[in-house]
Amino acid sequence: MNLEIFNFSISPWEILIRGSLIFWFLFLIFRFLLRRNMGSIEVGDILFIVIVADAAQNAMSGDGKNIADGMLLVSTLVFWNLLLDYLSFRFIFFRKFAVSPPLILVKDGILQWRNMRREFITKDELLARIREEGFQEISLVKEMRLESNGDISVVKSDKANQ
């Protein structure tokens, strides 16, 4: 058995630094630019993820060709992900940085156009979601939010309960 595959082909420190930098770069992209896509994945989203994964892999691994390089790189990414989850759970101030706050899309039956534009959500998309919830018209919606995980939640107005 050839044990060369378990030796590092590049410096372990370089792998740690590359993995950490790419992790945080991708985190910032997904946190601040792509929140809407997290709740529903479409073909374009899958293509984007595949391309990002390939580009990130090349940037992270450099010329890494051995199992040890890959295992250290994956361990680095897992470490940052677990640390991020722990810090978000433990510290409110960190959670505010790491997790997008809910965004109001409809307030008392009125579309919040600025927020919709910010997330590239069309009126037709909102109306479809309202119909999925069983509402006939937007005036029956007290509040509609884009949640931090990408889901859209709808709260009935008092008029809808009558």
Q: What is the pLDDT of residue 38?
A: 44
**Digitized pLDDT (tens) for each residue of the chain, 162 residues in all:** 677 777 888 888 988 898 888 888 878 777 766 554 444 555 555 555 666 677 667 666 666 666 677 778 777 877 888 888 899 899 999 888 888 888 999 999 999 999 999 888 899 988 998 999 888 888 889 999 998 777 888 988 877 665
Alpha-carbon separation of residue 79 from 75, 85, 89, 104 (angstroms):
6, 10, 15, 33
Given this model, what pLDDT does residue 26 score?
A: 78
CA distances to 7, 141, 142, 143, 150 from 135, rounded to whole Å, are 61, 8, 11, 13, 21
* Dihedral sign for Cα atoms in the order 69, 74, 77, 78: negative
pLDDT for the residue numbered 20: 87
What confidence score (pLDDT) does residue 37 get? 44
In DSSP terms, which residues pair with 106 in a beta bridge? 111, 144
Residue 110 has what pLDDT?
A: 93
